[in-house]
Amino acid sequence: MTRAAIDFGLTHVDVLAAHDTDALQAATLPSQRTVDVAQVRRALAALGRDVADFRQICVTGGQHRRLPDVIDDVPIVKVGEIEAIGLGGLYLAQRRQPDLREALVVSAGSGTAMVAVRNNRAQHVTGSAVGGGTLIGLCKLLIGTADAQEIDALAMAGDSNKVDITLIEATGGAIGRLPADANAVNFGRAATLELAKVNREDLAAGVAVMVGQVIAVIAINAARAERLDHIIVVGHLVDLACVRRVLHAVGGYYGVKFTIPEMPGCATAMGALVGAALTQ
Ligand SMILES: Nc1ncnc2c1ncn2[C@@H]1O[C@H](COP(=O)(O)OP(=O)(O)OP(=O)(O)O)[C@@H](O)[C@H]1O
Ligand SMILES: [Mg+2]
């Protein structure tokens, strides 16, 4: 066990322990939205470890630059979040697709960031303030729960077309690559619905579809503009089946495949390990 990596996000802190870039242990903790030495110790404690167990601790995400350069004689290596997203997303996707050399990496976290990675260099392309935090926040307002697992189960059981206006209603049929049952207006039906008849499942599904579609459509257009053939999606938002389903549906409409690697929530922490190794 030689190196640790910690990604300080707005919702989660993800921590890995690794030999080189072979992750051996991983944990995810709720974020306390502060980054200091105590938070580093708290993250490592979630793996049952201490600072002194490592020869190097790589940090990224949020306010990681506030950390000192050394804790208990162990160097703290700071890796920019954009670089960590790009390198980590590509690294995880390469496990299944070893020939992959460049891609658009979408970090679907509390918010959404899109990063082009080529030749081990990452560049921020675009993003959206619509992300996982939007899904949770709107569901709290609309259906009274901020529990991600509950929202996922409700959304999977619901039908977003109960709250959306579909293309068949809007235009009478399919448009281009979009089938007639694709939506034309997210929540477009809600204005005229009798509130008592709207169920929680359909509301959760409507929010998941809206959030997933915003991310998918921006990603497809960004990848085209950047002339990148591959889109990799990481972050804990794609732990949720309801969001993965929307991404794959939109990808199907446009003939684009979204690659979601295993353990997508640890991609940015993994990228901190990869990025730190590149600079040494
Ligand atoms: N068990 C869970 N608890 C909380 N959120 C979850 C859970 N599973 C999935 N999510 C989703 O993951 C989102 C957060 O993703 P992630 O942890 O990757 O972001 P982050 O790194 O904390 O944020 P950012 O990178 O934007 O600072 C939540 O907003 C929520 O939609
Ligand atoms: Mg993050």
pLDDT value at position 280?
78
Reported pTM: 0.97
Mutation to probe ligand 1, out of 79, 107, 135, 236 (largest number of atoms < 8 A from CB): 236
Q: Which atom of ligand 1 sits closest to the CA of residue 12?
A: 22
User: What whole-number distance in Å separates Cα of residue 218 and Cα of residue 225?
Assistant: 10
pLDDT by residue (tens digit) across 32-74? 999 999 999 999 999 999 999 999 999 999 999 999 999 999 9
Q: Which domains does the chain have, with CATH numbers?
A: 3-78 (3.30.420.40), 132-264 (3.30.420.40)
What pLDDT shows up at residue 46? 98
CA of 226 to the centre of ligand 2 (A): 22
Q: Which residue's CA is minimally distant from atom 28 of ligand 1?
A: 132
Q: From the CA of 141, how far away is ligand 2's center (Å)?
A: 23
* Pocket of ligand 1 contains residue 271 by CB under 6 Å: no
Give the list of residues 6+ apart from residue 197 with CB closer than 8 angstroms, or none: none
* Beta strands at 258-259 and 165-166: parallel, antiparallel or unpaired: unpaired
Distance 108 CA to ligand 1 centre (A): 8
What angle do the packed helices 200-225 and 132-143 form, to 10 degrees? 160
Count Cβ atoms below 10 Å from residue 153 Cβ, excluding itself: 16
- Ligand found nearest the CA of 134: 1
Chain centroid, CA 177 distance in Å? 26
User: In percent, how much of the chain has pLDDT > 90?
Assistant: 94
Query: For the chain, what is the mean pLDDT?
Result: 96
